[in-house]
Amino acid sequence: MSRLEAAINRLIAQKTLLEHVADLIGKTPGPVFELGLGNGRTYDHLRQIFPEREIFAFDQAIRAHAGCIPDAAHMVVGDMRDTLRLCHPRIAAKPVLIHVDMGSGDPTADLATREWLSPLVADWAAEGGYVVTDRPLQLPGFTTIERPSGAPASPHLVYRRMKG
Ligand SMILES: C[S@@+](CC[C@H](N)C(=O)[O-])C[C@H]1O[C@@H](n2cnc3c(N)ncnc32)[C@H](O)[C@@H]1O
């Protein structure tokens, strides 16, 4: 598979999994976290499929397309090692979906990220909430959700925090 084909698969898988999880969440209340605003592509899609929800986007810097930048109340700027630990005062409810899109392309950096990110994601996710991620995470008490048939092969995973 060429890198172009792999990139196309990744994007289609990301879109398919986010839409699948949006269906599973239905009307369950709660905000959405976008971990890695980047260019704002997936943020733009999230606000299309979750038009009624608060979406909080996190990134160390704002580099998104001008039309895809959340307002100041919903944009959390800084290193997520700090911001995810310290943003509780501005975010009242735990998220029903955490979308992790932080792949660096460097396997060692990605492993390092998994180590510090996993406990923060586990701490934030609502009971019964979902995590769509571009990398495996270590999430005790979560189950892995089967991918829908339309999702092409990609590294993405969907986890759900078990209730109770
Ligand atoms: C792959 S890009 C996100 C792409 C984006 N979701 C999109 O669709 O356009 C990854 C983003 O994660 C951010 N990022 C990576 N590590 C971070 C960290 N420790 N704290 C904050 N942001 C981080 C980078 O700055 C980058 O913008």
Ligand 1 pocket, 154 CB below 6 A?
no
DSSP H/E element including 115: helix 107-124
- Domain ranges in the chain? 3-161
pLDDT at position 163 is 82
Segments of the chain with pLDDT less than 50: none
Cα–Cα dist 110/22, whole Å: 26
Ligand 1 pocket, 148 CB below 6 A?
no
Label the pairing between strands 55-59 and 32-35: parallel
pTM of the model: 0.97
Dump pLDDT digits (tens) for 100-126. 999 778 889 989 999 999 999 999 999
Cα–Cα dist 49/44, whole Å: 9
pLDDT at position 132 is 98
Ligand 1 pocket, 39 CB below 6 A?
yes
Query: Phi-psi category of 78—alpha, beta or left, where left has phi over 0 and alpha has psi -120 to 50?
Result: left
Decide yes or no: CATH 3.40.50.150 for domain 3-161. yes
Longest Cα–Cα distance of the chain, Å, equals 46
Ligand 1 pocket, 42 CB below 6 A?
yes
Mutate which of 10, 11, 14, 59 for ligand 1? The one with the most ligand atoms within 8 Å of its CB, which is: 59
pLDDT at position 160 is 98
For residue 153, the CA-to-ligand 1 centroid distance in Å is: 22
Ligand 1 pocket, 14 CB below 6 A?
no
